[in-house]
Amino acid sequence: MLLIRICVFLLCFKSCSFYKITWPHSTSDFSLEGDYLLGGLFALHEIDQVTPLFTPENTECFRHSTSASGYQMLQVMRFTIEEINNSTILLPNVSLGYEIFDHCSNTKNFRSILTFISKNGSIKPKEKFNNYQPKVIALTGPYGSTRTITIAPLITMGFIPMVNYGASSYALSNKLQYPTFVRTVPSNKDMIEMIIHIIRWFGWNWVAFLGSQDNYSSDGLKLFNKYISNTGICLAYQEGLSLNANYSQTLKKIDMLNINVIVVFAVPQYAVNIIKTAIANNIRNKVWIASETWAMNQQLPREPGIGKIGTVIGITERLLSLPGFDDFVYKDRRTINAYSTESNVQSKSKACNQVCDYCPLLTAEEIINENPSFSFTIYAAIYTIAHALHNVLQCDKNVCPKNTKAKPYMLMREIKKLDFPLNNRQVKYDENYDPIISYAVVHWHTDVNPPQFEMVGTYDTYPKTTFTIDNSRLPWLTNDSVPFSNCSLECKPGYSRQPEGFHSCCFTCKKCPRNSYVDYSRDPYTCFPCLESEWSDEGTRVAGVPQAVLAELQHLQWWPTKLQKLQGPSGNQKGVRGLVCRTQYLQPASRRPGLI
């Protein structure tokens, strides 16, 4: 009954007009016939201003702002399918086709979803899985967590694999809610852990977190607050921004709080607003940590004045280039250009949101030079579907039996078993259908033309977890030294912390009085008293020895051996507390170890 209500509601959406495109069906960017069809959702356009939705409607994406990055993603899917269809090993005698739609809205693009889950143009809510053969065997997309969470119930309800390349919300790892959701992009949990690794690597503890008002940012902020507990990191400022928010006021607040490290965990439109506002307001010498959504943005590094705002460190997928993709794009552009000059005959009308007026006008260079952050995740998503289908059809390296038919639900059990190499990377999934991690830390070199992205660090979870950053590759603007972003300076040895405000990172330092000591590993806020029979100098810490005692012990022949034993194998002097407070028992005249 619930499914029937949903379908009735969605069918009430206003119809899209039908438009004609100027190249034949065989060269269409949106459709290709094949034995099995894959669905694709890419944002070829973006809605700048979101209006409240009071009645069901479907939007015409081509009326909104263009997104060349989305078109590049579409081309990666087309390239991957062509590569698989040309393979003699993977699905050797089976062809893959596709049906692709422009997906520009969180709530107004349901018509394409209904097309995917329909069978011969109709939807039967109570059809059994064994008989259910929707138009697509699986799909990839859309880009963004909010858009994915909005449509996922309709896709997963029919147990259709949704192998996503660009939705990282950790909520999607919940298999009870999203049983057929698979992703090739790491989850927000992995991204947040990576950001915390970077912050701790440089010893920062006073940071700001800026995001947008969507599932992606709110999920990231929730995870950041969760995982910084017990790390010594303080979240000094946080805000979820709307497109028309006062960005200048936000950045001025951060500057007044002396925060020098700013995490920008937002989708590109918001990140662009933040960085452009920082340039306009002369915000200087900050460290900007960019999440994967804008870490490889191709336009921002070219903004005049970008070099003055500080250092931009981005986190992105390790593998960005795809062998053969550039040649595919050049060949595709030649085909389109040849057709447009030879014929103006229009093909048959295409469906709603399968129109892109600006796409044929893009040059091969413009497409190739777009943000490549999600190229490999799209590539891996299509190969995941192909390998699962290969196994369901019981193919060998030469042929796939023609008498075997695959249903969408059959692919899920095969996806979980997958473990295959792809362009020197390993593709496999955990129990939540999340991928293994292979991140790169990139530094924006904005002082050269064109700007460059240099890999300065890595984070991998396969075959084992490793994280490293090459500090020598980061030319800091603050006298070439790591910027300071801590609420307070660390206390000197023998000084305890005195809380200041409600952030644990903020404190003053107080010298421990005579006959007391501070042990930072135990409690940096307390000067512990010596026992009644013990004493210590003023400003003593547990790992130190008073100068008077050191002078006395230097006369003892057995001093080096005894101190080494007290220090323990690590040599950190934690074992010498007895020498700090128990020196009154020392009998230097006897020179016998047993008297200490």
Distance of alpha carbon 580 from alpha carbon 34, whole angstroms: 80
Residue 57 has what pLDDT? 67
User: Are the C-beta atoms of 44 and 84 separated by less than 8 Å?
Assistant: no
Shared domain for 155 and 62, answered yes or no, is yes
Shared domain for 127 and 270, answered yes or no, is no
Distance of alpha carbon 531 from alpha carbon 511, whole angstroms: 19
In a domain, 478, yes or no: no
User: Are the C-beta atoms of 308 and 282 separated by less than 8 Å?
Assistant: yes
Structure tokens of 466? 């490793």
pLDDT at 379 over 90: yes
In a domain, 347, yes or no: no
Q: For residue 585, which phi and psi values (nearest 5 degrees)?
A: -85, 0
Shared domain for 151 and 195, answered yes or no, is no
How distant, in Å, are the alpha carbons of 11, 55, 125, 209, 380 from that of 5? 10, 15, 10, 40, 35
Instruction: For residue 529, say if its preceding peptide bond is cis, omega within 30 degrees of 0.
Output: no
The whole domain housing 230 covers 188-320+437-473
Shared domain for 147 and 199, answered yes or no, is no
Distance of alpha carbon 38 from alpha carbon 35, whole angstroms: 10
Which residues are CB-contacts of 469 (< 8 A; sequence separation ≥ 6)? 198, 201, 441, 456, 457
Shared domain for 21 and 152, answered yes or no, is yes
Burial of 334 (0-12, 13-18, 19+ CB in 10 A): exposed
Instruction: Report the percent of the chain where pLDDT is more than 90.
Output: 62
In a domain, 484, yes or no: no
How distant, in Å, are the alpha carbons of 221, 348, 440 from that of 189? 10, 46, 16
H or E element: which one contains 367? helix 364-368
Least confident of 51-60, 68-77, 433-442, 477-486: 51-60
Residue pLDDT, tens place only, 525-546: 999 998 877 776 766 554 344 4
Nearest to 548 by CA among 520, 589, 591, 579: 579
Shared domain for 182 and 192, answered yes or no, is no
Cα angle 85, 89, 92 (rounded to 5 degrees) comes to 50
Shared domain for 79 and 137, answered yes or no, is yes
How distant, in Å, are the alpha carbons of 91, 221, 486 from that of 212? 42, 10, 25
Residue 46 has what pLDDT? 86
Structure tokens of 494? 């023998």
In a domain, 275, yes or no: yes
Write the single-letter amino acid at 265.
F
Shared domain for 102 and 223, answered yes or no, is no
In a domain, 584, yes or no: yes
How distant, in Å, are the alpha carbons of 193, 264, 477 from that of 474? 21, 19, 9
Q: For residue 347, which phi and psi values (nearest 5 degrees)?
A: -85, 180
Shared domain for 64 and 200, answered yes or no, is no
Distance of alpha carbon 279 from alpha carbon 283, whole angstroms: 6
CATH assignment of the domain containing 200: 3.40.50.2300
In a domain, 281, yes or no: yes
Residue 479 has what pLDDT? 76
Residue pLDDT, tens place only, 131-183: 788 999 999 999 999 999 999 999 988 899 999 999 999 999 999 999 999 99
Shared domain for 453 and 424, answered yes or no, is no
Shared domain for 307 and 363, answered yes or no, is no
Calculate the average pLDDT of the chain. Answer: 84
In a domain, 308, yes or no: yes
Structure tokens of 36? 């099995």
pLDDT at 573 over 50: no
Shared domain for 47 and 138, answered yes or no, is yes
Full-model pTM: 0.82
Residue pLDDT, tens place only, 437-496: 999 999 999 989 899 999 999 999 888 989 999 999 998 877 778 999 999 999 998 899
Number of domains in the chain: 3
In a domain, 332, yes or no: no
